[in-house]
Structure 1
């Protein structure tokens, strides 16, 4: 997958989304509330409806 879709440069968050709901899940972030702006730098999808989105911190 990474050779096809590449990766985002710099501080980034990658989110993979699956079309499934399975229980309560695991929290993604812990600690105190500290809003941080991210923007979508790249998005990809697959035939099985899985998507992957790269978010880069702030605006460049």
Structure 2
């Protein structure tokens, strides 16, 4: 399911580096805004949200 998609995303070294940088950043809010401009990070965030809050249909 979605967990397999998440695991696949987490294999990406660029995404892993973004997450390490975010974890270690002094200004996490500023870096989070920058990360949300990265399509790969947005895909990761969307995947996480689909896992924790699956929608009944894609239209809503």
- The answer to whether the superposition gives a TM-score over 0.5 is no
Question: Relative contact order (alpha carbons < 8 A, sep ≥ 6): 1 or 2 greater?
Answer: 1
TM-score for both structures, normalised by structure 1 = 0.24
Answer 1 or 2: which has greater strand percent: 1
